[in-house]
Structure 1
Amino acid sequence: MTLRSGLWLPLFDELSDPAVVVRLAAEAEEAGWDGLFVWDHLRWRAPVRAAADPWITLAAAAAVTERLRFGPMVTPLARRRPAKLARETASLDRLSGGRLILGAGLGSDRFGEEFSRTGEELDDRVRAAMLDESLAVLRAAWSGAPVRHRGEHYVVDDIAFEPPPSGIPVWIAGFPGNTAPLRRAARHDGFFPVNLDHPDQLAEAVGTVRRLRAEAGADGPYDVAVGLPADADLAAYEAAGATWWLTDFDPHTITVDEVRGVLRAGPVRA
């Protein structure tokens, strides 16, 4: 198999201590894992009580690893200011030597009420527009050229975000049956379908993304990441188009011992 393997961790409760996740990152690299990806949430529903900041955690993990790819999977861009995120992502990519992958999506108020409890936008359509506009700002900022953007939601008036990153892939999250996320994913560097039920569902979504990319004349590497438990039929999902397997843990019951058990069992091997 050529499927790459990444730990995908909710930073809750036992994993809310960044020092714990940093140790897991070092162990994962030593064990041959390809990536470390983390959830990006302010809070989660009970029984979860504690949560860590993903960006602080990822920066610390980047500092103790040399090969591991990493990133938030996913960050809801409508909850972040794109100019600030441009600085953070560029710095983190440089700190890691070009290993950052940005997972981006709409986010949801369903599981943690983190939008409604902080006065953030609740309308999915508005957040989708904010997501697309944020991505446009980030792409412009990462070029290193001055950004002159006046949009519906954001303004960046003649700011150059230097030093620029080496090149940050963007993976777009979305439900595979929805057209808008597929179109958005086709415009970027990867697709992270959520709530997959069957490999055939993935194959259909990947087929749509490939067609949209071909119609747009897009080429170059493209990734499809799937979040699945360790006992899933990974070969079937790889045949359906997956290039990355991310470990799917229950956020309500995840423990360090559980993560370490999956980690030590090892990544997918060819």
Structure 2
Amino acid sequence: MSIQWFPGHMAKAKRLLLEQLRWVDAVIELGDARLPESSLNPMLRELLADKPKLLVLNKSDLADEAWTERWLERLGQEGPAFPVSATSGSGVGRIVPRLESLMRGKQEQLAARGVRARPIRAMVVGIPNIGKSSLINQLTGGARAKTGNKPGVTRGNQWIRINPRVELLDTPGLLWPKFDDPEAGRKLAAVGSIKDEVVDSEELALWLIKWLEEHYPSALERYRRGPGEITLEDIGRARGCLVQGGRFDTLKAAQIFFKEFRAGTLGKVTMDRF
């Protein structure tokens, strides 16, 4: 199964990002702790050039802690990187101090030239459904950015004052035109960063079942009824997806499976490995 998705509003988001980068001092890139590599947009590296950047791995509460530590060690070699959970607020308090520390040198240079101090302007970037709005809501202490559980809910851009020293620019999620690694596309679809409407949910669910069987077999025990591979019928039976004629609604079973996987009901999972 090959997944490619770059709708018109994504191309527009790229143009807006390029336009607005000149107005910001730094970038906060939000990744998914379950996909520390696949969720980072390679196009952003080219677009950001030499802008100071913080890498924040969100949804760390859903990721395998051992793998999160390994990834932070690797990613931290390129710049500041740390985990957070925008849902619980864990780790979010570190962002503003780290951002101010990142920008301290530049601010001191400006002050030495007699330039009047102004708030640090930072842009929050990341792929769809990564939790940007939830993160900003945590930083501001209130629901000031529209959120949703589907990719693409944040349609426009908006400036948000965090404190007198920091302003954030929220941006729509940005995917890239082509996945060089087809598996990266499947992983992104599995965690919900690609709209379910553009993928074959049953085919993707079968792929995810096989992946979990290999890496986290205990995650599937709730569906297992005997030896052998778990099927969508097994999941449908476990979740009461019975339809007329004694058959099971495998599409509904796949949808329930993804809902439980994404919510962490099946356990903590990290899908990117090295």
Q: Same fold (TM over 0.5)?
A: no
> Larger % of helix: which?
2
TM-score by length of 2: 0.30
TM-score by length of 1: 0.31
